[in-house]
Amino acid sequence: MPEIRSNPVTGDWVIIATERARRPEEFTQKAHRAPLPPYAPECPFCPGNEDKTPKEQFRVPSPDGGWLVRSVPNRFAALTPEGNVERHVHGFRSFLDGVGLHEVIVETPAHNLTTALLPVAHVERILEAYRHRLRAFYEDRRIEHVIVFKNYGEAAGTSLTHPHSQIVGMPVLPNQLRARLEEAVRHWGNAGECLYCRTLHEELEDGTRVVAENDSFAAFVPYAALSPFHIWFFPKQHGACFGDATDAQLADLAAVLREVLARLHAGLQDPDYNYVIRSLSPQEGSVRYFHWYISLIPRVTKSAGFELGTGMFINTALPERSAEYLRGVAIPA
Ligand SMILES: [Zn+2]
Ligand SMILES: [Zn+2]
């Protein structure tokens, strides 16, 4: 019989298709990505084309005078950085001025590399850039919420191949975060504990859905994973703001993130994916009911009318088997 699992963190119901679940290897992608050159002369993110991007806001320098990671305003920004955030109310209708910050974080000078194949030390530099930009965005008092995310591959919403992530600061709190906050506050009120610390404790105790782990991070397929190979990365130490992560924690996160991406790369043949950092602001970093984390969604299936019409999910992969499969994938050291 299928199970309708409850995801307490998101507040979602997920139908886990236990009987007609597909085997993990059935989610393997066909050879779908054309091989890329290490350098593309027309690419605005390749070295030598720095003047083709808007003014650089941050860089992690390389020892040879170049850069390892850089952050630049998005040329096609969703929001404009100039102006004040005014609220306009006209009877039933209202809008805010579309003010916000939007940068592209170029993850490496190499046009053809992907995080799964980068050295862990380089992944650490990318995370340092995320942390720096997130802190800087929150210093702007117009910004209510900051989201860091990566779209990898066309199914994940990007056609730009040079490795990059994005960061957006907006003057409103997105509904998804509000819903998670409400669940977290409710659990704090009912149980007097952080919902995320408890979830992590249960997952580590059970162990069947854990994919990778080290001193300060664990990556696991949630019990009620919303889609096949959906993976959460939780810091073991409680904290509500990613910007407060220490250098040692970022090093551990880089190792776990790189390992999981390498397992997906080898196990499912380089699937498209999105990941997102869910975090509160540094001002809220010490709240006890929320816990920052990363959510990774390989785009190996499409959601359809049922998901759109209900906000529920159907997951055709068993979380336990997905995790077991990924643990068993051989990856280069
Ligand atoms: Zn490039
Ligand atoms: Zn916690």
Ligand 2 centre distance from Cα of residue 199 (Å):
9
Ligand number, closest to the Cα atom of 108: 1
* Counts of helices then strands in the chain (DSSP H, E): 6, 15
User: H/E element holding 73?
Assistant: strand 67-73
Ligand 2 centre distance from Cα of residue 186 (Å):
14
Confidence at residue 19, expressed as pLDDT on a 0 to 100 scale: 78
Ligand 1 centre distance from Cα of residue 250 (Å):
26
Confidence at residue 152, expressed as pLDDT on a 0 to 100 scale: 95
205 CB burial (10 A radius; 0-12, 13-18, 19+) = exposed
Ligand number, closest to the Cα atom of 239: 2
Show the CA angle centred on residue 308, arms to residues 184 and 210, nearest 5°.
50
Q: How far apart are CA 127 and CA 292, in angstroms?
A: 14
Nearest to 203 by CA among 109, 310, 320, 120: 320
Ligand 1 centre distance from Cα of residue 251 (Å):
26
Ligand number, closest to the Cα atom of 36: 1
Nearest to 246 by CA among 283, 212, 285, 273: 285
Q: Percent of the chain at pLDDT above 90?
A: 88
* One-letter amino acid for residue 139 of the chain: E
Alpha helices, DSSP H, located in 140-194: 175-191
Ligand 2 centre distance from Cα of residue 30 (Å):
39
Strands (E), 74-189: 87-90, 93-96, 101-106, 145-152, 164-170
Ligand 2 centre distance from Cα of residue 242 (Å):
12
Instruction: Provide the CB-side half-sphere exposure for 245 (13 A, CA).
Output: 31
Tens of pLDDT along the chain (333 residues)? 899 999 999 999 999 987 778 899 889 988 778 889 999 999 999 999 999 999 999 999 999 999 999 999 999 999 999 999 999 999 999 999 999 999 999 999 999 999 999 999 999 999 999 999 999 999 999 999 999 999 999 888 887 899 999 999 999 999 999 999 999 999 999 999 999 999 999 999 999 999 999 999 999 999 999 999 999 999 999 999 999 999 999 999 999 999 999 999 999 999 999 999 999 999 999 999 999 999 999 999 888 888 889 989 999 999 999 999 999 999 977
* One-letter amino acid for residue 255 of the chain: A
User: Bridge-partner residues for 317, per DSSP?
Assistant: none
Ligand number, closest to the Cα atom of 161: 1
Ligand 1 centre distance from Cα of residue 34 (Å):
15
Ligand 2 centre distance from Cα of residue 194 (Å):
5
Ligand number, closest to the Cα atom of 291: 2
**Structural contact between residues 63 and 121, judged by C-beta atoms closer than 8 angstroms:** no
Strands (E), 107-236: 145-152, 164-170, 210-213, 217-220, 231-235
Ligand 1 centre distance from Cα of residue 46 (Å):
4
Residue 61 gets the label, from left (phi > 0), alpha (psi -120 to 50) or beta, of beta
For the chain, helix, strand, coil in percent to 5 are 30, 25, 45
Neighbours of 307 (CB within 10 A): 14
Q: How far apart are CA 237 and CA 244, in angstroms?
A: 11
Q: How far apart are CA 241 and CA 172, in angstroms?
A: 17
**Structural contact between residues 195 and 278, judged by C-beta atoms closer than 8 angstroms:** no
**Structural contact between residues 226 and 47, judged by C-beta atoms closer than 8 angstroms:** no
